[in-house]
C-alpha cells in the first residue's frame, strides 16, 4: 500500500506532545511507519530552537524542524540553524506602543535569536513554571538589547483571544500577531508564519505543499493548514483551527496523530475533500 503523502508536518504542544511533554509509543510507531513508507516527518512549532532541541533529541529526531513560528529552520541531527529571521525591534516597539494605547499596560517577554537564544521575561509576565528555561529581567528595556525573533504579550484582564484581536487591530500592517497557545500571544515579523518556514524546509527536502499532511491545534497553525494539502485538527484544537481543518482527529492525549496515520497506512488514501 502506498502512503499518500511525502511529508508529515506536526505541531508540538497540544498535538504531538501529550500534556506531560512526552510522545506516546503508539504515535512514535505510527510516525516511524510513515517514514518507512517514504514520508519525511517534520516538526513545525512556535517554540524557538532552545525550547525545542531537548524534545527533538529525546525523540531521536535528526531531520529538519521549523521553529519560532517559522522564523527558524533547524537541522536537528547537526544541531545547526539553517535559516533565521529576526523581528525589527524598532517596528516591534512602535507596535507595542500602539497596542498599549488601546488596551493599557502589557506584561512582556521576548525570545532572543540564535541557537542559544534565551527567553527574557519582564515584570508581571506569567510563565508556565518549571517547564522551560527563562531569564527574568527587572528592567524590560534589557529585552531590546540583542536581536529577537518574537515578543510575547500578556494583559492583566483580557483573555488570549481578546488580546490577540485587539493587538491585531492596533498594529495594522507593522507586525503580525498570533495566538499560539494558552497564555501565549506573540508579535512576529510581518508575513511570517509556520507556512513560511514549512515551505522553506519543504523546498530543502524537495517536497511540495500538495505532498503534505499537517497536524495542529492552535490558530497559529491556520497558515500551515492553508499551505498543506490536508490539515488535521486535534480534538482539543481551538475552534478557529477546527473551522478550516479538512479533518478532526482524537486529542493529543489519545494518539490523534497515530489514528490518522494508521488509517492512511492501511488504506493508502485520504478522503477527497476540497481545499
E strand residue ranges, the chain: 7-10, 40-44, 64-67, 72-75, 80-84, 107-112, 119-121, 135-136, 148-154, 175-181, 184-189, 212-216, 230-233, 247-248
pLDDT tens column, 37-57: 999 999 999 999 999 998 999
Alpha-carbon span 215 to 264, nearest angstrom: 14
Q: Given this model, what pLDDT does residue 207 score?
A: 97
Q: Given this model, what pLDDT does residue 273 score?
A: 42
Q: Given this model, what pLDDT does residue 1 score?
A: 61
C-alpha cell belonging to residue 232: 488535521
Q: Given this model, what pLDDT does residue 130 score?
A: 62
Q: Given this model, what pLDDT does residue 272 score?
A: 44
pLDDT tens for the 275 residues of the chain, in order = 689 999 999 999 999 999 998 999 999 999 999 999 999 999 999 999 999 998 999 888 899 999 999 999 999 999 999 999 999 999 999 999 999 999 999 999 999 999 999 999 999 999 876 667 899 999 988 999 999 999 999 999 999 999 999 999 999 899 999 988 888 899 999 999 999 999 999 999 999 999 999 999 999 999 999 999 999 999 999 999 999 999 999 999 999 999 999 999 999 887 644 33
pTM: 0.92
**Is residue 114 a contact partner of residue 149, using CB atoms and an 8 Å limit?**
no
Amino acid at each position: 500500500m502506498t502512503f499518500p503523502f511525502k511529508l508529515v508536518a506536526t505541531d508540538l504542544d497540544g498535538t504531538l506532545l501529550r500534556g506531560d511533554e512526552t510522545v506516546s509509543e503508539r504515535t512514535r510507531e505510527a510516525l516511524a511507519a510513515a517514514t518507512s513508507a517514504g514520508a519525511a516527518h517534520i516538526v513545525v512549532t512556535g517554540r524557538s530552537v532552545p525550547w525545542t532541541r531537548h524534545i527533538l533529541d529525546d525523540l531521536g529526531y535528526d531531520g529538519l524542524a521549523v521553529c519560532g513560528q517559522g522564523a527558524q529552520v533547524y537541522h536537528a541531527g547537526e544541531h545547526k540553524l539553517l535559516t533565521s529571521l529576526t523581528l525589527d525591534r524598532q517596528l516591534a516597539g512602535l507596535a507595542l506602543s500602539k497596542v498599549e494605547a488601546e488596551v493599557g499596560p502589557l506584561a512582556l517577554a521576548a525570545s532572543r535569536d540564535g541557537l542559544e537564544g534565551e527567553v527574557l521575561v519582564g515584570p508581571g509576565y506569567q510563565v508556565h513554571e518549571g517547564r522551560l528555561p527563562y531569564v527574568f529581567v527587572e528592567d524590560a528595556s534589557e529585552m531590546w538589547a540583542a536581536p529577537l525573533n518574537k515578543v510575547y504579550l500578556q494583559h492583566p484582564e483580557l483573555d488570549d483571544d481578546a488580546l490577540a484581536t485587539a493587538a491585531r487591530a492596533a498594529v495594522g500592517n507593522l507586525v503580525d500577531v498570533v495566538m499560539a497557545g494558552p497564555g501565549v500571544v506573540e508579535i512576529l515579523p510581518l508575513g511570517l508564519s509556520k507556512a513560511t518556514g514549512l515551505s522553506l524546509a519543504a523546498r530543502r527536502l524537495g517536497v511540495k505543499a500538495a505532498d503534505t499532511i499537517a497536524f495542529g491545534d492552535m490558530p497559529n497553525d491556520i497558515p500551515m493548514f492553508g499551505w498543506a494539502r490536508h490539515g488535521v485538527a486535534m480534538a482539543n484544537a481551538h475552534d478557529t483551527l477546527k473551522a478550516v481543518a479538512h479533518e478532526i482527529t482524537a486529542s493529543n492525549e489519545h494518539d490523534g496523530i497515530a489514528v490518522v496515520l494508521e488509517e492512511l497506512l492501511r488504506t493508502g488514501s485520504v478522503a477527497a475533500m476540497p481545499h
